Amino acid sequence: MKPVCATHALRILGEMKKLLKVIKMKPTLLVLAAGMGSRYGALKQMDGVGPNNEAILDYSIYDAKRAGFGKVVFVIRKDFAEAFEKVNSSAKFGIPVEYVYQGLECLPKGYTVPEGRVKPWGTGHAVLMAANVIKEPFAVINADDFYGKEAFEVMAKYLVECEGKKGAYSMVAYKLQNTLSDFGTVSRGVCTSNRCNYLQTIVERTSIAKTAEGAAYTDETGEHPLPLDTLVSMNFFGFTPDFLGYLEDGFKTFLDGPAQTNIKAEFYIPLMVNNLINDKKAKLKVLSSDAVWFGVTYKEDKPDVVKKIQNLIDKGVYPKNLW
């Protein structure tokens, strides 16, 4: 038997250590479930759409678990925490579950809620609530959006590769035409990317609607057309843990600025992402997949979602009984 030189042996040992580290590391799924459901008229994050009253988030967690995510963290409000935690537990999902709480009063030391403020602080603030319980690469999703199993697969793979890195972010984008509602306006992050599929800009548009020509968003300057194949964010992001530190600083800047003059201003994830990209502190990879998005912005959207879920069950993508 030919002896193995010490240098070669050390190289093999180093590769084994890297492999074991990758095997050990599992990303976390952060589920934003503190929404008010004002346009839906109910707590849509808990509304059943499956044959056994499964909510959309049940299918997301099922997909995340089989894709390799190792923990779920829910961002919820304290006013429905007891009911939510009763039906969304570690025992049910078979993986560790933690809860963190978002509220207007959850502010950095020295800050107070402005007089007249009733609107939540936004998605960036929601993610910040999990800063003390996430130490590994993580994905962020909305509780009431269906992202598709392929989306979780490509995200999990990318996050595992990002272990130990900083500023290595990602997102799954969808075509605008597949994310609109027939029953009113929607909010979407409108994206542009370069040839290498790295995000260049993402701008939150809060009033996008179908038009005779396709789609358009409305802002303070009027109505602006949007091509139906425009890539948009549905809040399916992937981050390395350093993002949470940037969020903390960014939220303070937001509180000292826009929040002082507009009691309805929100601290969105895209705002922070844009700033970090522009400052060359991070790069965000736009991941591609064959996943199909659907969701419930309005109560009238629900029958279509129920039908689509049943179609996926009939095709064998999901079992009739998830849990």
pLDDT at residue 22 in the model: 46
Assigned domain for 238 exists: yes
Instruction: Please check the confidence at residue 278 and state whether its pLDDT lies above 50.
Output: yes
Assigned domain for 2 exists: no
Q: How many domains does the chain have?
A: 1
Q: Which amino acid is at 302?
A: K
283 CB-side CA count, 13 A: 9
Assigned domain for 44 exists: yes
Assigned domain for 203 exists: yes
User: What's the pLDDT band for 15 if we cut at 50, 70, 90?
Assistant: low
Q: Using one digit for the tens of pLDDT, what is the confidence trace for 85-118?
A: 999 999 999 999 999 999 999 999 999 999 999 9
User: What's the pLDDT band for 166 if we cut at 50, 70, 90?
Assistant: very high
Assigned domain for 16 exists: no
d(CA 268, CA 126): 9
CA dihedral 263, 264, 269, 274 (to 10 degrees): -80
Instruction: Please check the confidence at residue 2 and state whether its pLDDT lies above 70.
Output: no
pLDDT at residue 20 in the model: 47
Q: Which domain holds residue 253?
A: 25-314
Assigned domain for 211 exists: yes
**In angstroms, what is the C-alpha Rg of the chain?**
21
Assigned domain for 15 exists: no
Cα–Cα distances in angstroms (integers) from residue 236 to residues 239, 310, 312, in the given order: 10, 23, 21
**pTM for this prediction:** 0.86
User: What's the pLDDT band for 18 if we cut at 50, 70, 90?
Assistant: low
Assigned domain for 11 exists: no
Cα–Cα distances in angstroms (integers) from residue 233 to residues 140, 154, 188, in the given order: 12, 15, 6
pLDDT at residue 36 in the model: 59
